[in-house]
Amino acid sequence: MKNQQAVEALVLDSAWISKLEGENEEINIFETLGVVHKELQHSNMIGWLLSPKENHGLGDVFLRTFLCRVAGDFVADLTDEEETALNLGSFTCRKEYRQMDLLLTSDTERAVIVIENKIWSGESEHQLGKYLRQVKEEFKDYHQLCLFLTPDGRPPSDQVNWIGISYEDILEVLEETLEIQERQISPDAKSILRQYIQTVRKHIVGDAKLKKYCQELYFKHRKAFDLIFEYKPDLAREISDALQKELHGKVELDQSTKSYIRFTTKDLDSLTPKGSTWTNSGRMLLFEIQNRSGRLDLKLIIGPGDPEDRRKLFALKKSKPDVMIGASKSLQKSYTQLYKTELVPMEYITDHESEPDMVIDEAVKSVNKFINIEMKRIEKVIIDFLG
């Protein structure tokens, strides 16, 4: 089958269009608000579900089912020590309390539950240890449960004190609770809960049935899809080309690719040490726009080179911590970050993938703002420090 015939066969096979469009035709408030990838909003939603006194109509059934599923021993410890029935209605939920995503406490049951929620970000160094210490200090005599929530249930760094749970656990508990409490839930609440299930399946954990259908469709029209993939828009390349064009003449461009754009300024170039094996220019200190994995970040990086020169450059971190934001904690052997900023939020890029011009315009605007304001501050600090 020729290329054009393959694409025409795919277009004429209208059943797949109806099937896939059916997955997206319903209104979904979480998609409309653009919060499907935002950890804070997911934490707020889960905190709402876990709060027995909220107006969702679930009572304490969601909390009870959830705890029995992910932490049966914790529930057993509570019930073993009490002759009366477990009073889950006494639990209250706090959000962002002392930086912890969710904190459920019950003075009646003398119990505390911490949930650290990570969707696309990883653990910060010592984060779980810090939260554990806070809980032990503030809730000394309480039963303590620490849960680490991620899309796939990946294990936490501290597997002794923390339990890894997944968004699939949340979905299965919610679906079970909906079935149990169906008559007690208002139509409005039921709609929100079903939209949330749809959101998490579609954007966080994946939909197995939809995956299977897409695979079958691919094998049926493989040639057409391969052509589409070959000619699909390359947003990362378009961003890189636009930024390199914008930066030309405004900075001293160094070695660059689709994934990174490196540059410095004339004044910094004449002052900062050379002799690095990092790029062909021998420059040791470079700004680098990293354009990969759906992210657009800008960093100031110390590359390989003379150890004394590198130590001197890294001393800028302690000298000007208010300017050198996001610097690495220590000087690494080859590459060390001295500054970092996010040019375009990952969520913005994801939400506007079908509107590449908007993403490119935002990237260009952010880069110009950086070179006109922040880069000048950084440049002055370095010149004053090295001069």
CB burial string 349-381: b at 16+ within 10 A, e below: bebbeeebeebbebbbebbeebbeeebeebbeb
Tens digit of pLDDT for each residue in 131-185?
999 999 999 999 999 999 999 888 999 999 999 999 999 999 999 999 888 888 9
Residues 6 or more apart in contact with residue 115 via CB below 8 angstroms: 43, 46, 100, 101, 102, 103, 104, 147, 149
Does residue 370 surpass a pLDDT of 80?
Answer: yes
State the average pLDDT over residues 355-378: 96
Residue 359 has which token pair? 């993403």
Give dist(CA 382, CA 266) in Å, integer. 13
User: Could you tell me the pLDDT band of residue 73, with boundaries at 50, 70 and 90?
Assistant: confident
State the average pLDDT over residues 13-37: 69
* Residue 325: burial class (beta carbons within 10 Å; 0-12, 13-18, 19+): middle
Give dist(CA 218, CA 202) in Å, integer. 19
Instruction: Give the residue, 175 or 19, on which the prediction is more confident.
Output: 175
% residues pLDDT > 70 (the chain): 89
Tens digit of pLDDT for each residue in 295-316?
899 999 999 999 999 999 999 9
Tens digit of pLDDT for each residue in 114-124?
999 999 888 88
Least confident interval from 86-90, 266-270, 376-380: 86-90
Question: Which runs of E-coded beta strand occur in 15-167?
Answer: 92-97, 100-106, 111-117, 143-150, 163-166
For residue 349, give Cα distances in angstroms to 119, 294, 355.
Answer: 17, 7, 9
Tens digit of pLDDT for each residue in 197-244?
989 988 888 766 666 666 777 777 777 777 777 777 788 899 999 999
How is residue 120 annotated by DSSP?
S
**What is the average pLDDT value for the chain, to the nearest integer?**
87
User: Could you tell me the pLDDT band of residue 40, with boundaries at 50, 70 and 90?
Assistant: very high
Tens digit of pLDDT for each residue in 265-293?
999 999 999 998 899 999 999 999 999 87
Does residue 75 surpass a pLDDT of 60?
Answer: yes
Give the length of the chain.
Answer: 387
Residue 55 has which token pair? 């107006």
Instruction: Give the residue, 72 or 285, on which the prediction is more confident.
Output: 285
Q: Are 40 and 121 in contact (CB under 8 A)?
A: no
- Classified as helix, coil or strand, 328 is coil
- Nearest CA among 67, 64, 71, 66 for reference residue 88: 64
Does residue 83 surpass a pLDDT of 50?
Answer: no
State the average pLDDT over residues 71-86: 67
